[in-house]
Amino acid sequence: MTQPLSETSDSYRTAEESTEGHPGSIPVHVAVIMDGNGRWATRQGMSRSDGHRAGTDNIRRITRAFAERGVKYLTLYAFSTENWHRPSDEVQTLIELIEYAILKEVQSLHEQGVRIKHIGRLERLPRSLQESIRKCIELTKDNTAITLSVAFNYGGRTEIIDAIKAITADGIPSDRISEELVRGYLYTDGLPDPDLIVRTAGEMRLSNFLIFQSAYSEYYATQVCWPDFDEAEVAKAIEAYGTRKRRFGKVEE
Ligand code: FPP
């Protein structure tokens, strides 16, 4: 049986209510762009699929490491709406890996008190996978140690378009449309904005990830590829966050 993680309260917070970057503060919500699986594998003479496998195996230890440091929400960018344009065998591998991860990891994550969420569009995924995703969300819905949101078939622009369509379909008049109302129509409804966005493997871009929610997020980029991003790298990212002073567009008091 896996050791449960300590419980944390699960209150909803907007970005401004999140940590404000006091020295040493811990981000409430960390979102990670898990990049570099392909480069990691190529450097070792392995296939890109091997890189994605190693990347999948890293999810458990990193979820645990962030939870043990007091992070309450972790969101991982696993498959973007643009990733469908990759070679079909690579797309197939990524779909198989999420199926495999659900089979192999979910019970242990559940025992650790991890609540699992999905953000993105489910409909283009195989029906059996959609069903497995729904089951693991249901199984873990009352867990409180950390909320792990997996962005799979996710795109920030698609998310905003889906929100606009739903707002229109609900017949909401324009004078009722506010930031808070829009938030409630995003896939991330109920999650606080990310305090910290981490990107591995050295690129400096957001790649259509949480583009509405990241307006005041802090960024941390590292050259380390995702399969090598370990507990020590988690500590470095959190330390870097603890040195930031967040102002949310205001001036310092
Ligand atoms: C980026 O590496 C990574 C991805 C596109 C996929 C990330 C997916 C996983 C870690 C595994 C599947 C997820 C789950 C939830 C089971 P890249 O291939 O773009 O690397 P490169 O830039 O070096 O080519």
DSSP string, 87-127: -HHHHHHHHHHHHHHHHHHHHHHHHTTEEEEEES--TTS-H
What separation in angstroms does the CA of 5 have from each of 110, 114, 156, 216? 10, 8, 31, 29
| Pocket (CB within 6 angstroms of ligand 1) | 34-39, 48, 52, 55-56, 78, 83, 94, 97-98, 101, 150, 201, 226
Confidence of residue 145 (pLDDT cuts 50, 70, 90): very high
Q: Does a structural domain hold residue 246?
A: no
pLDDT at 13 over 70: no
List the CATH number of the domain containing 64.
Answer: 3.40.1180.10
Query: For residue 68, is it within any domain?
Result: yes
Looking at residue 45, the DSSP 8-state letter turns out to be T
Predicted TM-score of the model (pTM) = 0.92
Q: Mutation test of ligand 1: which of 32, 33, 35, 98 has the most ligand atoms closer than 8 Å to its C-beta?
A: 35
Given a cut of 80, whether residue 11 has pLDDT beyond it is no
- Residue 12 resides in a domain: no
Q: What does pLDDT average to over the chain?
A: 92
Q: Decide if 248 is inside a domain.
A: no
Count of domains forming the chain: 1
Please say if 83 is a catalytic residue. Answer: yes
| pLDDT, tens digit (0-9, with 9 covering 90-100), for 218-231 | 999 999 999 999 99
Q: Quickly state the pLDDT bin for 9 (edges 50, 70, 90).
A: very low
Confidence label for 20 from pLDDT (cuts 50, 70 and 90)? low
Per the DSSP assignment, residues forming a β-bridge with 31 are: 75, 197
Q: Check 10, 57, 58, 83 and give the catalytic one.
A: 83
- Looking at residue 3, its pLDDT comes to 65
Q: What percent of the chain has pLDDT over 90?
A: 86
> Does residue 76 lie in a domain region?
yes
Question: Does residue 82 form part of some domain?
Answer: yes
- 253 or 240, higher pLDDT: 240
Residues 53-105: pLDDT tens digits? 999 999 999 999 999 999 999 999 999 999 999 999 999 999 999 999 999 99
Q: Please give the Cα distance from 108 to 160 (Å, whole number).
A: 33
CA 150 / ligand 1 centre spacing (Å): 12
What share of the chain in percent tops pLDDT 70?
91
Residue nearest to atom 11 of ligand 1 (CA): 56
pLDDT at 207 > cutoff 50:
yes
Asked if residue 232 belongs to a domain, the reply is yes
In a domain, 111, yes or no: yes
Q: Tens of pLDDT along 100-132?
A: 999 999 999 999 999 999 999 999 999 999 999
pLDDT at 251: 82
Residue 210 structural domain: 26-157+193-241
Distance of CA 80 from the midpoint of ligand 1 (Å)? 10
147 has which bridge partners?
Answer: 73, 115
Check whether 12 has a pLDDT greater than 80. no
Query: In which band, very low, low, confident or very high, does the pLDDT at 18 lie, cut at 50, 70 and 90?
Result: low
Which protein residue's CA is at the shortest distance from atom 14 of ligand 1? Answer: 98
